[in-house]
Structure 1
Amino acid sequence: MTITQLQYVLAVAEHQNFTKAAQKVFVTQPTLSMQIQKLEDELDIQIFDRSKKPIQLTETGRKIVNQARNIVNESERIQDIVDQQKGFIGGEFRLGVIPTIMPTLLPMFLTNFIKKYPKVKLKIEELNTEAIIEKLKEGHLDAAIAATPLELPGIKEQVLYYEPFVAYIPEGHRLSKNDKLEVESLDVDDMLLLEDGHCFKDGILNLCKASRNYEGDNFQLESGSFETLIKLSNEGLGMTLLPYLHTLDVKERDKSKLKMFKDPVPAREVSLIFNKSELKIQIIEALRKTIAGVVKGAIAYQNVKIISPVPNRK
């Protein structure tokens, strides 16, 4: 068997279609089919059940795909070792970023990174944490920026910064006169939240659970963006919580509605996460240094309490 054959198997397993898989690996469909058939004949097993639509892996095929992914990743490490030895920082790099970080962090570091490392071809994808984890495990991402700790087997976390939670409280709200807030004063029932699937929402629920026995699901309103939450809050529909970097873009007339928490300030931990195989570690390290350099001046909080983004964890 060859590495190329294993790459073809992985492509078909991903797309569940021979034609799409062939396009992905830049060969003709007959060539790809022939090579996979050749591998199946050599192993004397069937990797794919072609009678089903879309094409499905057989039980043995699933095990082969898992092993093939490890072999292909390890084969790529050879080029990785050579690149590191030569000090070369370049090539394609696939980066996932969660939606509550993408709009604020990306503009802060992207231009600097591109100028400093012009040979790196960044492919950036906005994904929720669940999709990021899946793509990292399957080898479809080289690294991601997400809220941590996630504490997942096979995934390394390298902390970039700690970002405080900031309350946005409209005039007339019961907490609007407070200079600084206490976590214990939060009530999730009068709070506007992001919709399900956002780990920032899970962090807020964990924050509220840490201060009171909250078990309900009676939310007033959920939205997909912080901008919408701010507008709804201004209409008097409730307060909300924002990540600190997002507050830097709040309109001047609304800045008086921002309230910090008393120490220790609740915060989320933002990290670069990547596979423990550390493929393309030189690019990961270049990203870390670039991001740390620009964020250091924007976030100066030290006395923080990290709130987990994992649902139901305090």
Structure 2
Amino acid sequence: MNLRDLKYIVAVAETKSFVKAAEQCFVSQPTLSMQIKKLENSLNIKIFERNNKHVLVTEIGKQVIETAKRILQDAEHISILAKHEQDPFAGDFTLGAFPTIAPYILPKLIPLIKKKLPNLRLILVEEKTDILLHKLKTGLIDAALLAGPIHDESLIAEKLFDDEFKLAVATHHPLAEQTIINPDELTNQPLLLLDEGHCLRDQALQFCQLSGIDEEQNVRATSLETLRQMVIADTGITFMPTIAIQNNDDNIRYIPFEEPKPKRTIYLVSRQTNPRTELIKQLKNLCVNNNQL
């Protein structure tokens, strides 16, 4: 048994395919299958049930794979510790961000990181929150920019900033002349929100439920930019986080809400066990201390 074999069985379990796992591990499918078969024979167990259409994990296989994941994470931890000892601000670092913040913060953050941490190779991953949390907890990424609250004892969430929501309406909309918005004024207004799976949608819905505002059920967008264009087209109104507001939006009015203002809080989230604490601290400071972010 070796780490390579453990990587093979974890890849098969995650992809549900020997072919895809082989591609992921950069080996031929026969080689991967042979090594897994040898591992099963040495342990005298079946990790996978195989047929022409499906790959299923056996009950004992599930336990073996969970243990294999922990071993691989520990091995990676050892490697990171060694690199960290040589230069805590060098090497690869994978940072995740969710879609309604990545386009607005990463283009400003990346040049700062390159300037302050020239020996760091930053790898960026843009995914929805649930996927980023899974990748974070399984060691596939080092840290992530996420909206809180984060309820997981295995993770550390460092607050970066509050991102206030404003009401976005077309310039010719009846509400466009107002300087502040009371949520009661949005009753019966066609409110546009993002599609399922976006954390911004969940945060907006919480505010809507508290304020008695109904969502426009027939229209849902997959990005803030789509929502922005739909507002310009007078399809409806929406909530826009301040970080996404552009100065050249001449066709949209952004109106603040009365207190308590709806907002989301952005955190830099990492694993409790991540050894690169000094680097994560530097990244947090870059986000917090720079007025452009």
- In structure 1, what is the Cα distance between the partners aligned to 2:92 and 2:56? 29
Q: What aligned pairs does 1:19-58 form with structure 2 within 5 A after superposition?
A: 19-51=19-51, 53-58=53-58
Q: Does 1:224 align with 2:212?
A: no
- In structure 2, what is the Cα distance between the partners aligned to 1:121 and 1:270? 23
- One-letter amino acid of the structure 2 residue matched with residue 253 of structure 1: D
- One-letter amino acid of the structure 1 residue matched with residue 108 of structure 2: M
- Aligned equivalent of 2:258: 262
- Aligned equivalent of 2:96: 96
Instruction: Report if aligned partners of 2:154, 2:272 keep a CA contact under 8 Å in 1.
Output: yes
- One-letter amino acid of the structure 2 residue matched with residue 158 of structure 1: E
Instruction: Report if aligned partners of 2:190, 2:216 keep a CA contact under 8 Å in 1.
Output: no
Structure 1 gaps, min length 5: 300-314
- Aligned equivalent of 1:150: 150
- Aligned equivalent of 1:253: 250
13-22 or 194-203: bigger deviation: 13-22
- One-letter amino acid of the structure 1 residue matched with residue 100 of structure 2: T
- In structure 2, what is the Cα distance between the partners aligned to 1:66 and 1:153? 19
Question: What value does the CA root-mean-square deviation take over the aligned residues?
Answer: 2.6
Q: 1:48 to 1:279 in 2, by over 3 A?
A: farther
Instruction: Report if aligned partners of 1:18, 1:32 keep a CA contact under 8 Å in 2.
Output: yes
Q: Does 1:272 align with 2:268?
A: yes
C-alpha deviation, 1:279, in angstroms: 4.9
Map Cα deviations across residues 48-101 of structure 1 (whole Å, 9 max, x no partner). Answer: 112253422112211211111111111222222223333332333332221101
Secondary structure of the structure 2 residue equivalent to 1:241: strand
Q: How many residues align?
A: 293
Q: Normalised by the size of structure 1, how large is the TM-score? A: 0.82
- Aligned equivalent of 1:311: none
Instruction: Report if aligned partners of 1:188, 1:208 keep a CA contact under 8 Å in 2.
Output: no
- In structure 1, what is the Cα distance between the partners aligned to 2:204 and 2:102? 19
Structure 2 gaps, min length 5: none
Q: Normalised by the size of structure 2, how large is the TM-score? A: 0.87
- Aligned equivalent of 2:116: 116
- Aligned equivalent of 2:236: 238
C-alpha deviation, 1:246, in angstroms: 1.0
- One-letter amino acid of the structure 2 residue matched with residue 238 of structure 1: G
Map Cα deviations across residues 181-215 of structure 1 (whole Å, 9 max, x no partner). Answer: 23444437421222222211111110111223x6x
- Aligned identity (percent) is 31
C-alpha deviation, 1:45, in angstroms: 1.0
